[in-house]
Homo-oligomer: A and B are copies of this chain.
Amino acid sequence: MGIDPGLARMGYGVIREQAGKWKLVDCGTLTSAAGEAVEKRFVVLFEGLTEVVRKNKPQAIAVEQLFFSRNVTTGMVVSQARGLAILVAGLAGIPVFEYRPVEVKQAVTGYGQADKKQVQRMVKLLLGLTEAPKPDDTADALAVALTHAQAGTGEWLKRLQENRKQVPD
Contact = CB atoms under 8 A, between A and B. Distances in A.
Nearest to A61: B39
Contacts of A68: 72
Contacts of A81: 83
Total identical chains: 2
B66 A96 contact: no
Interface stretch (A40-48, A127-135, A143-151): A40-48
B46 A91 contact: yes
A106 interface: no
Given A37-B96, A75-B75, A46 B87 contact: yes
Interface string A70-92: 00110111011111101101110
A40 B66 CA distance: 20
A38 B75 contact: no
Contact of A43 (B67, B77, B82, B91): B91
A81 B42 CA distance: 13
Given A83-B79, A83-B83, A95 B37 contact: yes
A94 interface: yes
Contacts of A91: 43, 46
6 contacts: A39-B89, A67-B76, A75-B75, A80-B83, A84-B84, A84-B87
Leading 8 A-B pairs by shortest Cβ distance: A80-B83, A39-B90, A79-B79, A83-B83, A43-B90, A76-B79, A39-B96, A42-B87
